[in-house]
Amino acid sequence: MLFNSIEFAVFLPVVFLLYWFVFNRNLRLQNLFVVVVSYVFYGWWDWRFLLLIAFTSLCSYVSGLLIAKFHANPRKAKSINVINIVLNLLILGVFKYYDFFATSFADLFLGGKTDGILLKVILPVGISFYTFQALSYSIDVYRGKMEPTQDIIQFFAYVSFFPQLVAGPIERATNLLPQFAKPRTFDYETGVDGLRQILWGLFKKMVVADSCAVFVDQVFSSHQTQSGSTLLLAAVFFAFQIYGDFSGYSDIAIGTAKLFGIKLMRNFNVPYFSRDIAEFWRRWHISLTTWFRDYVYIPMGGSRCSKAKIVRNTFTIFLLSGFWHGANWTFIAWGAYHAILFLPLILLGKNRKYRDTVAEGRLLPNLKEFGQMLLTFILVVIGWIIFRAESIGQAWEYFCGMWSWETLSACYKFFIQADIWKTSIAILAMLVIEWLSRQKIYAFSISSIPSPWIRTTIYYVLIFIILMNFGTQQTFIYFQF
């Protein structure tokens, strides 16, 4: 079920009313209701894969209990944790990566013949997200960071909570699971704030991302015949498409969770206002970045080791991050590209330099800050070309074509198209609002505006713009991961 669909527009208020007015008197019953509606939400896409998410949940739940039971025997506890990790990653590997490895093997040793060796299974939506969320629980129990839950319904609600089930944020059990263990009360101000964040997420998805998608898909599918300036414009548009799409989903998910008295972690923090690539990764897909940091980077030694090992650790998490995104060499190349960009900052000890907000306390950045943000954005856009391409060869062709002599020519012919004009204005509006709100939890937090008439007018204008763009339902990009 898509957030930007009529079905969800009906589903959400019905679930909200039942959650607070029918099932609110009994915590266990309320949590069971969360599990049921979450499975309906997920099964709306394909009910057959409900067994998969249930099996993943059950494995991690049981492993948590067994790890605690054998806590006095570290060897057994470790074995149980390893078995659960391997089992979950094996399921992920079969559905997401088997055909990729089989095809690569066939290309190397069988002359490209794949007859009889491919599974050709459908990739379950959001499998990487809920698998990592389930794994974090058993790992944290093994590390002694939390006690295992005895309530299987609470645990199933934690893994399957529908707002963030298929595209994050990837929550930690230490944050989300305890929220299902205590009674929840509806807070009006939090609920209104949640609706406001949902509205902003829908704007970024339906007005910015989906408008960009039309142009981007057209150009990437015919990149050989496009001019350099067209390719450059499409690359920039894709940067805003993937940001509007993914951060928009996160805003809708976080806002929806607020309606149910649940607090999810922040997943994006105005990443395109970053001054270097390290700052960008502290602000982009925060839940995944911190997951790899806590469960891969730090156990390998993190930054408390030699420079050579820090470089090794950094390349490892970026390559894994790339591979997590999909079974294609383009994703691995994208991860390696960002690792290379990270390398000078590590060697110079500047990878943690920018931890504040750019131009803090000022309306505009200074010339140096603007140049840093522009350079970082350009480097990120180059990476997005690799990410968006269907193959390494296509990415190279696209990049070479983009920097042809024609790139320097006038681009006015694109802007005479109404759609390009509207999309450009939407992007600009998003950037202005996010710049002015860069120190807030999310951009559209306008509760500080004293006049209720002004706030109401802004809401209705935004709703009108969103409805004007309510055409073909575009799926979220990160559903494929």
CB 163 within 8 A of CB 257: yes
Q: Which two tokens stand for residue 160?
A: 């399957």
Q: Which of 74, 475, 398, 463 is nearest to 233 (CA)?
A: 398
Annotation marks residue 325 as catalytic: yes
**Residues 333 and 322: beta-carbon distance below 8 Å:** yes
In whole angstroms, how large is the CA radius of gyration of the chain?
23
User: How many H helices and E strands in the chain?
Assistant: 20, 0
Which residues are CB-contacts of 101 (< 8 A; sequence separation ≥ 6)?
A: 327
Q: Are 471 and 5 in contact (CB under 8 A)?
A: no
Is residue 281 within 8 Å of residue 314, measured between CB atoms? Answer: no
CA dist., res. 251 & res. 466, Å (int): 15
d(CA 283, CA 379): 15
Give the number of C-alpha atoms closer than 13 A to the C-alpha of residue 184, restricted to the C-beta side: 29
Distance CA 239, CA 206 (A): 15
- For residue 72, how far is the Cα from the chain centroid? 38
Asked if residues 155 and 34 have their Cβ atoms less than 8 Å apart, the reply is no
**Size (the chain), residues:** 481
Query: How many CA within 13 A on the CB side of residue 393?
Result: 1
CA distance 468 to 418: 14
Which residues are CB-contacts of 358 (< 8 A; sequence separation ≥ 6)?
A: 273, 274, 275, 365, 369, 373, 438
CA 237/CA 417 separation, integer angstroms: 15
Please list, in sequence order, all residues whose beta carbon lies within 8 angstroms of the beta carbon of residue 128, skipping any fewer than 6 positions away: 92, 96, 324, 481
Please report where in the chains the tokens 């390893």 appear, as a residue: 82
Catalytic choice (223, 285, 325, 338):
325
**Which two three-digit tokens encode residue 446?**
């306008």
Structure tokens at 253: 């998910």
Helix or strand run (H / E) with residue 338: helix 329-347
- Active-site positions read 325
